[in-house]
């Protein structure tokens, strides 16, 4: 399909503007401020992202903007907004830009029925003219960087290059590509070839995302797709040390005590977040533990009794007992044990 959009603004950078060239993916309900802080404190994270902020009816109040704008020391913050009204999105982008967001990102990938019904998130991939208008309006109000996070089309990946061209033409500084269609949700395998095709076509930096479970996957994505940076989501919840392992290019891994200290640390931060309300802390800790369990070969069954604990102290004690019973070699940070046992690295 011929590109009908033209970019009027110069391209600020053709390489990813942050070091390390890595991003912790936005994950609604999970990557809140304590989790972003805990993962980036380990090291190797180039950019952290807020969960998406729905912008559908009215402008956000200053208090709402402040509660979303929670930077993590030393790591640039990307604020992700989701909506389809050009003026409202532009006004909201200005608020976050003025509040100090390093990057204002638009969500063009949310696959939920609610997003599709509201014609936002992945639904906007069906309408490149609309997303061009929304992104162009936002551009005028963003003094830092602007980015867009796309999927490989709504129900047909043939349009992905066309969508990416519309994003670039609107003046965006870099694009993040999760190469699954909306209809795939999180099923199947992310088709990295699409990241490579977009990289070949666009001049702005391209960030590859999807199915990076091990540091070696990230190295393979850089090599196979030629992308400028990688974004890691579920792989970083399973292994929050993945960014550090990537940066150091080493097979260093934490001891069971260090794994416990990581979870204990962010539980403490959640206590402040939830103003001492322990039920909320245990709920959050369990969500994260479900991912961390996948560090064990029998991840779907191991450590499950911990999930049955109801109180903060029971959860913490069960976790400590469990991790004290483990050796460093029981953790499968690099996928070798799973490969040996199941023939699958994931």
Ligand X SMILES: Cc1cc2nc3c(=O)[nH]c(=O)nc-3n(C[C@H](O)[C@H](O)[C@H](O)COP(=O)(O)O)c2cc1C
Among 34, 153, 171, 233, binds ligand X (CB under 6 A): 233
Break the chain down into helix, strand, coil percent, rounded to 5. 50, 10, 40
- For the CB of residue 110, give the shortest distance to ligand X in the complex, in Å: 6
Among 51, 59, 127, 264, binds ligand X (CB under 6 A): 51
- For the CB of residue 325, give the shortest distance to ligand X in the complex, in Å: 29
- For the CB of residue 114, give the shortest distance to ligand X in the complex, in Å: 13
Tell me if 52 contacts ligand X by CB under 6 A. Answer: yes
Q: Which residues contact 321 (CB under 8 A, 6 or more apart)?
A: none
Q: Which is nearer to ligand X, 17 or 233 (CB)?
A: 233
DSSP string, 41-61: HHS---EEEPPPEE-SSSPPP
Q: Which is nearer to ligand X, 177 or 204 (CB)?
A: 177
Q: Could you say which of 49, 110, 227, 293 is catalytic?
A: 110
DSSP string, 199-234: HHH-SS-EEEES---SHHHHHHHHHHH--SEEEESH
* Residues of this chain, 186-215, that bind ligand X according to CB under 6 A: 209-212
- Chain-centre distance of CA 131, in angstroms? 21
Q: Which is nearer to ligand X, 154 or 260 (CB)?
A: 154
Hey, which residues does 78 pair with through a beta bridge? 49, 103
Active site residue 110: yes
In angstroms, the Cα distances linking 49 to 42, 77, 195 are 16, 6, 20
**C-alpha triplet 142, 197, 155: angle, nearest 5°:** 80
Among 11, 20, 28, 116, binds ligand X (CB under 6 A): 28
Binding mask 323-342 for ligand X (x = CB under 6 A): --------------------
Catalytic residues: 110
Q: Which residues bind ligand X (CB under 6 A)?
A: 25-30, 51-52, 80, 107, 109, 149, 178, 209-212, 232-235
């Amino acid at each position: 399909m011929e590109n009908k959009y033209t970019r009027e603004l110069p391209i600020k950078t053709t390489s990813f503007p942050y070091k390390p060239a890595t991003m912790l993916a936005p994950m609604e309900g999970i990557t809140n401020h304590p989790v972003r802080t805990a993962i980036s404190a380990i090291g190797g994270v180039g950019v952290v992202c807020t969960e998406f902020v729905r912008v559908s009816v009215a402008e956000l109040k200053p208090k709402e903007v402040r509660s979303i704008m929670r930077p993590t020391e030393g790591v640039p913050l990307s604020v992700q907004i989701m909506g389809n009204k050009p003026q409202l999105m532009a006004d909201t982008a200005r608020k976050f830009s003025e509040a100090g967001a390093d990057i204002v990102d638009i969500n063009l990938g949310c696959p939920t029925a609610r997003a599709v019904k509201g014609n936002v998130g992945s639904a906007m991939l069906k309408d490149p003219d609309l997303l061009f208008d929304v992104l162009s309006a936002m551009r005028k109000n963003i003094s830092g960087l602007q980015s867009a996070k796309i999927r490989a089309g709504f129900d047909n990946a043939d349009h992905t290059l066309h969508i990416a061209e519309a994003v670039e033409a609107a003046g965006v500084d870099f694009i993040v590509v999760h190469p699954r269609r909306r209809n795939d949700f999180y099923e199947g395998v992310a088709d990295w070839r699409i990241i490579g095709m977009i990289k070949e076509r666009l001049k702005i930096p391209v960030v590859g995302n999807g199915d990076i479970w091990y540091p070696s996957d990230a190295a393979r994505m850089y090599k196979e797709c030629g992308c400028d940076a990688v974004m890691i989501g579920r792989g970083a919840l399973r292994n929050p040390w993945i960014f550090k392992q990537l940066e150091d290019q080493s097979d260093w891994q934490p001891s069971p005590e260090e794994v416990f200290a990581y979870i204990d640390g962010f539980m403490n931060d959640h206590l402040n977040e939830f103003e001492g309300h322990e039920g909320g802390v245990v709920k959050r800790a369990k969500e994260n533990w479900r991912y961390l369990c996948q560090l064990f070969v029998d991840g779907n069954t191991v450590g499950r009794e911990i999930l049955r604990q109801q109180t903060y102290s029971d959860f913490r004690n069960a976790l400590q007992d469990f991790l004290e019973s483990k050796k460093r070699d029981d953790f499968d940070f690099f996928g070798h044990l799973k490969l040996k046992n199941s023939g699958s690295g994931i």
